Structure 1
């Protein structure tokens, strides 16, 4: 399943970002580039985090930036970025090195993306994914472990 969702156009590893906002922008802009979201979706994510706090941190080291579909989602999509240096979200003391952004047009269409994320967390893969240096390493790992 993971190999169908993640590809060379929506994965960026060892990214440099000065803070959480820049990291989120990098990941969310990939959704815009894929045609899955408008620029307003990126701004909606940033605004929601500033207003609600770091609700997007779903596990140690992992954030899942997203917002409501009406903020500019035009399709189902995701992006995965890892950070060279971790970022910290206001109100949270845990470092984040992996961000999986997603967009969806309703409350059900993104379930495969959520299953992928849950799988990564349940299998304890977040630290391994964070340490990977290039896309091929990630894709080989996912293909090798897709049935694990």
Structure 2
């Protein structure tokens, strides 16, 4: 199932982003390019951030970029972007290296991706392996392997 939810081309390594808005934009690029969501979805994440704050920063090093399906979601898909230089979504917030972007048409289809992400970030060693993945292919393989453990 994870291989239908996360495609190799949706895993990216980037040096850095300019700020948290750019982080959201960059995290969603693979999903927009694949037709899984529209620019309206990105705007929904930005609007929700203005209203609620960075609700998607779940722990140090992890932001789970998402919004509701009613605003520009065309299908269920996941993208993972790892930043060599972390970004902060608020002044007092933690550094974030891993941007997991989700577009989901319902509340069930993306659960395997959330389980794989949780499996990684519950173990500091696994999280460090993701952050230090040498390339996009290694990043993809780490997520697939951790989904299999769930």
**TM-score in terms of structure 1 length:** 0.87
Whether the aligned pair in 2 keeps the contact of 1:5 and 1:113 (CA below 8 Å) is yes
Task: Find the counterpart in structure 2 of residue 68 from structure 1.
Answer: 68
- Give the Cα separation in 2 of the matches to 1:142 and 1:37: 21
Change over 3 Å in CA distance of 1:33–1:132 after alignment to 2:
same
SS of equivalent residue, structure 1 residue 29: helix
* More deviation, 132-141/110-119: 132-141
CA RMSD, Structure 1 to Structure 2 (Å): 2.1
Whether the aligned pair in 2 keeps the contact of 1:56 and 1:66 (CA below 8 Å) is yes
Whether the aligned pair in 2 keeps the contact of 1:29 and 1:39 (CA below 8 Å) is no
Task: Find the counterpart in structure 1 of residue 58 from structure 2.
Answer: 58
Change over 3 Å in CA distance of 1:108–1:141 after alignment to 2:
closer
Q: Is 1:10 the equivalent of 2:10?
A: yes
* More deviation, 47-56/117-126: 117-126
Cα drift, residue 5 of structure 1: 3.7
**TM-score in terms of structure 2 length:** 0.86
Mark the runs of 5 or more structure 1 residues left unpaired by the alignment: none
Whether the aligned pair in 1 keeps the contact of 2:15 and 2:83 (CA below 8 Å) is yes
SS of equivalent residue, structure 1 residue 89: coil
Structure 2 counterparts to residues 60-99 of structure 1, below 5 A? 60-90=60-90, 92-99=92-99
* More deviation, 41-50/86-95: 86-95
Paired residue total? 148
Mark the runs of 5 or more structure 2 residues left unpaired by the alignment: none
Q: C-alpha deviations, 1:49-103, integer Å up to 9, x for none?
A: 1221111011211000000110111110110001121111125431001000001
